[in-house]
A and B are shown apart, each in its own frame.
Chain A
Amino acid sequence: METTMKAYAFLGLIVLATFAVDVSALSVTVNDVECVYEYVLYEGDTVSGNFVVVDHDIFWSSDHPGIDFIVSSPGGNVVQTMKGTSGEKFEFKAPRSGMYQFCFHNPYSTPETVSFYIHVGHIPNEHDLAKDEHLDPVNVKIAELREALESVTAEQKYLKARDARHRHTNESTHKRVIFYTIAEYILLAVASGLQVVYIRRLFSKSVAYNRV
């Protein structure tokens, strides 16, 4: 009896510990389709996350056409779809436990780098409380607090990814200003020089005698 109680206490601690783990925001390069899978342990868990298209060098247009994001449940049903976006947050309640599939589709030929973050959060409810006698209501409150802090961290990761993209655009603008302006000066000087050379040639003796 003693050992079973100790084992349950250990189990309770481990179950609590599982709610605290977190994965960092990874980036993956999407050529055509890239899928990431994540296992959801309990039905009813909230799966939240975000993704941002980070690295794209669009030359002319300022608006990227975006990538498509599709989430599929283990049964094959599509849980969420987002089309033509360059960065979004998502959140849904998992209808069942199992391996969920998060896919990025790139409809264009240029490869894109997508930074994503997925978090599966579980808050013990009354059913879990009834099953495990070592889980007090305070653990429920702690789990809710933890999920709230997780959402703040997720938001920060989203901001960080968008900041990285902004920085990329900013540095590209900076380089373009310098490079294109200096190229413009040189071209202007060369064009004026060529104009003068041409006019000189028009009035040079060899041409003038034949023409006028």
Chain B
Amino acid sequence: MANKLRALLQVIILMLILVQHVDCIWLNLPKSGRKCVTEEIHNNVVVLADYVVISDVHIHPTPSITTKVTSPYGNILHHKENATHGQFAFTTNEAGQYLVCFWADDPNQGGALSVNIDWRTGIAAKDWESVARKEKIEGVELELRKLEAAVEAIHDNLLYLKSREAEIRQVSETTNSRVAWYSILSLGICIAASVAQLWYLTRFFQKKKLI
């Protein structure tokens, strides 16, 4: 009985580990230099990330890395050195490119490193367990609640895309009208320059008594 339970526990732990790492990407870190990923995030979005370092050639102890997360205006949101795993969470205050960089701490250590990053923003970062506990729902109802949240996120994304398209259209139309105006102005300046030249040269030659 105890053996069965232990085996079960191991399977559950394995599944939990797999759950943590499913649908997250792995990057390979070069020995020297750094690896950076960026994402464009808009304002007021929850970002949750988890990272783990694994050595490809099974070096013990696992080499550590330095991680730095920078906001679009240059503020450092998370900076951790000498770590083999870690996590960070923040809510964005500025819209723009967020940069996450990894450096290998010790370039002399042989072997390639792989970093697993589980990066979630917005709806994917929502803590469903606390929602399930608070509202006492589970199973199919919880899944349907998640689907409903996903549909709302899709709707919000569409509205965001629509507003971006409106901005781009605005810039396009300004450019369009400016091209027309500036070309006509350019023609006007050309004519004005030639008239000014002719006038000046006529006066010059008349003064020189050549005409």
Contacts and interface: CB of A to CB of B under 8 A. Distances in A.
Nearest to A121: B23
A149 B154 contact: yes
Interface in A132-188: 136, 138-139, 142, 145-146, 149-150, 152-153, 156, 159-160, 163-164, 166-167, 170-171, 173-174, 177-178, 181, 184-185, 188
B178 interface: yes
A195 to B, nearest CB: 7
A120 B23 contact: yes
Interface string A35-63: 11111010000000000000000000000
Interface in B174-205: 174-175, 178-179, 182, 185-186, 189-190, 193-194, 196-197, 200-201, 204-205
Interface stretch (B11-19, B59-67, B75-83): B11-19
Interface of B: 4-5, 8, 11-12, 15-16, 18-19, 21-28, 36-40, 97, 114, 118-124, 128, 138-140, 143-144, 146-147, 150-151, 153-154, 157-158, 160-161, 164-165, 167-168, 171-172, 174-175, 178-179, 182, 185-186, 189-190, 193-194, 196-197, 200-201, 204-205, 208, 210
Given A21-B124, A163-B164, A164-B40, A192 B196 contact: yes
B121 A156 contact: no
A192 B200 CA distance: 11
B22 A184 contact: no
B11 A174 contact: no
Contacts of B210: 203
Given A4-B4, A188-B186, A192-B194, 17 more contacts: A21-B19, A21-B23, A24-B39, A24-B119, A24-B120, A29-B36, A37-B25, A37-B114, A142-B143, A142-B147, A153-B157, A164-B40, A166-B168, A174-B174, A177-B175, A181-B182, A200-B204
A86 interface: no
Contact of B37 (A28, A184, A185): A28
Contact of B175 (A10, A136, A170): A170
A119 B120 CA distance: 13
Contact of B21 (A13, A39, A142, A167): A39
Contacts, number: 176
A118 interface: yes
A10 to B, nearest CB: 7
A160 B161 contact: yes
B68 to A, nearest CB: 16
B146 A24 contact: no
26 contacts: A7-B12, A10-B12, A17-B128, A21-B23, A22-B123, A23-B118, A24-B121, A37-B25, A38-B23, A115-B40, A139-B140, A149-B147, A149-B151, A153-B150, A156-B158, A163-B164, A166-B168, A167-B167, A170-B175, A177-B178, A177-B179, A178-B178, A181-B182, A185-B189, A188-B193, A196-B197
A99 B178 CA distance: 52
Contact of B124 (A22, A41, A177, A195): A22
Interface of chain B, main secondary structure: helix
A113 B39 CA distance: 11
Interface of A: 3-4, 7, 10-11, 13-18, 20-29, 35-39, 41, 99, 113, 115, 118-120, 136, 138-139, 142, 145-146, 149-150, 152-153, 156, 159-160, 163-164, 166-167, 170-171, 173-174, 177-178, 181, 184-185, 188-189, 192, 195-196, 199-200, 203
